[in-house]
Amino acid sequence: MYQPPNQQPPWQPQPQHLQQPFQQPQQGYPPSVPPYFQPPPMMPPPPRPVKRLKAWQIVLLIIGILVVIGILGNIINQQSNSNTATSPGSTPQATDTPTPMPTALTNPDDIKSELQSDANSALTGSNITADYGAQLSKAVIFETSLTKQPLSFIQSECFNMQKAVWQDQQLRVKIVDFAIAIINGQLLNVYGECVLDTSHASKINWDNTDAVTAWNNKVYQDMKPHS
């Protein structure tokens, strides 16, 4: 059958692969790479496992820290001591250590011996006798002389004897009776005496008075001679 030369042939269906519309390739990949070949997204690396110390390692670590701290402390102390010792004009500070209080005597023989020792130190005579009465807690001291001594001698001996006993911290007597006598045959003739008890002795400032003042102020409970 004859067809004109410029007349199109009748419509024919195109193949299926030519009928699909053109698809734009995804961004980031060249058009030649198919979508199903795209690599998976980047994943972060897994965390590293924490390495825990064992018990003995912790103990050694603590010991090492303590040793270092001790060494540093010793170095600092040595430097501080050397600086104090070598600093000009520095003088060591003296520490006042309190003197312990002597223990009071309780045995009558020990008290009598202590009274005798005080009397020998305080008095000027050579014939001195000390005694102690535990019932009244009374100290009795006798001093004898060949001749009668003046009033100044009596005042001085009384004051020194009383002061020695009342300032002796080992003695806790309540009464001190001191007498001076001359020997008349077999009899004692007392011509000087002073008696002092605890209540009156505690009022006397022994370091701020003297024998004459104490006698004239009549600090003793009984005196002989009375004037």
Strands, sheet with 127-133, edge to edge from the N-terminal-most edge strand: 127-133, 138-145, 175-184, 187-197, 222-224
What pLDDT score does 210 carry? 95
Q: Phi/psi at 107 (nearest 5 deg)?
A: -75, 130
What pLDDT score does 40 carry? 59
DSSP 3-state assignment of 98? coil
CA distance 162 to 34: 129
What pLDDT score does 63 carry? 80
Please state which of the four CATH numbers 1.10.10, 3.40.50, 3.30.70, 1.10.3470 is assigned to the domain occupying 108-224. Answer: 3.30.70
- The candidate with the shortest Cα–Cα distance to 166, out of 134, 204, 192, is 204
**Residue-level pLDDT, tens digit, the chain, 227 residues:** 555 555 555 555 555 555 555 555 555 545 555 555 555 566 666 666 666 666 767 777 788 787 778 787 778 777 777 665 555 555 555 566 666 777 889 999 999 999 999 999 999 987 899 999 999 999 999 999 888 999 999 999 999 999 999 999 999 999 999 999 998 777 889 999 999 999 999 999 999 999 999 999 999 999 999 75
DSSP 3-state assignment of 159? helix
Contact call for residues 170 and 104 (beta carbons, < 8 A): yes
DSSP-assigned letters across all residues of 129-169 = EEEEETTTTEEEEEEEESSPPPHHHHHHHHHHHHHHHHT-T
Measure the CA angle with vertex 176, ends 171 and 178; round to 5°: 125
Element (H, E) at 137: none
